[in-house]
Amino acid sequence: MYCTSCGQPNKDNAKFCTSCGQPLMADNVAPSGAPAQQQPVFQQQPIAQQPTPQQQPGFQQQPIPQQQPIWQQQPAPQQQPAWQQQAANSINTEQLKAQAGKATAQVTDFIKKMDDTKVEVSGHKLSLITVAALVGCVLTVISPFLPYALKQTLMDTSDGWVFLIIPVVVAALVLLRKNLPAAIVSAITLFIAIYDLQHVSHSLGAEMMQSGAYLVIVGTLISTAATVIAFINDLQTKKKNPPTAPKPQMPQQ
């Protein structure tokens, strides 16, 4: 039995507390087998409470931003009239057309300068475009004899003769000023070279490719670009100097 005043344990049949002398209640006796009674309140440890944050003093609080006066506010941008938008769009379109025309004129002048610049080769004067196409054909002819991949050349495959015959045909067409057929044949050769390069590099790996593989691409690319430029130059020349119709001959009496 515990004293309700001081918490001193006493005998179950005691009537007064041996410590403080206060009378003991019979209800304070713990029955046998029952759990011990709760410790008196004055002996329990106080529960630690988190200190409540103090409110910031009024002079330290952030002031509420005041709304800007109406007379200081920026006026809302007015929508541009439809006729002004159309005029601006038309101006932009005209500027784009002018820039495109200027770029086209620069390319045309460059092509014309290349065609007008002559180089003497074995007593024959050839334009730079023709020389570039012939150089591309020569590089393409040399490439089948160089290592392509794994120390093998194109001559070890069936495509080797393709890169020997087609460049000769392209060179003949260029010398005959048949620029459109030359451009088509060169483009086909370039497509075959790129296809072979991708197929072999995918099978063996790009690190296995050697000088012959890249030289055939460079040669066919140069010949294709040169023949296309020559064909464009022919078109520009025909536009500036259209062919005149032959005069009808009068029947003789």
Residues 6+ apart with CB under 8 A from 186: 133, 136, 170, 220, 223, 224, 227, 228
Instruction: Identify whether residues 131 and 224 lie together within a single domain.
Output: yes
Q: Are strands 124-127 and 118-121 parallel, antiparallel or unpaired?
A: antiparallel
User: Does residue 46 lie within any of the structural domains?
Assistant: no
What is the four-CA torsion angle of 170, 172, 175, 176, rounded to 10 degrees? Answer: -110
User: Does residue 129 lie within any of the structural domains?
Assistant: yes
User: Does residue 247 lie within any of the structural domains?
Assistant: no
Instruction: Identify whether residues 23 and 124 lie together within a single domain.
Output: no
More confident residue, 54 or 11: 11
User: Does residue 49 lie within any of the structural domains?
Assistant: no
- The alpha carbons of the chain give a radius of gyration, in whole angstroms, of 51
Taking residues 10-19, report their average pLDDT.
80
Least confident interval from 62-66, 205-209, 231-235: 62-66
User: Does residue 81 lie within any of the structural domains?
Assistant: no
pLDDT at 64: 63
Taking residues 28-56, report their average pLDDT.
52
Per residue in 175-220, pLDDT tens? Answer: 898 989 999 999 999 999 998 888 888 888 877 888 888 899 999 9
Q: Is the pLDDT of residue 97 over 70?
A: yes
Q: 21: domain range?
A: 1-30
pLDDT at 30: 47
User: Does residue 95 lie within any of the structural domains?
Assistant: no
State the pLDDT confidence band at 34, using cuts at 50, 70 and 90: very low
Which helix (H) or strand (E) segment is 89 a member of? helix 82-116
Picking from 212, 188, 190, the residue whose alpha carbon sits closest to that of residue 201 is 212
pLDDT at 2: 78
Q: Tell me how far apart the alpha carbons of residues 210 and 143 are, in angstroms, rounded to a whole number.
A: 11
- Residue 215: CB atoms within 10 A of its CB come to 20
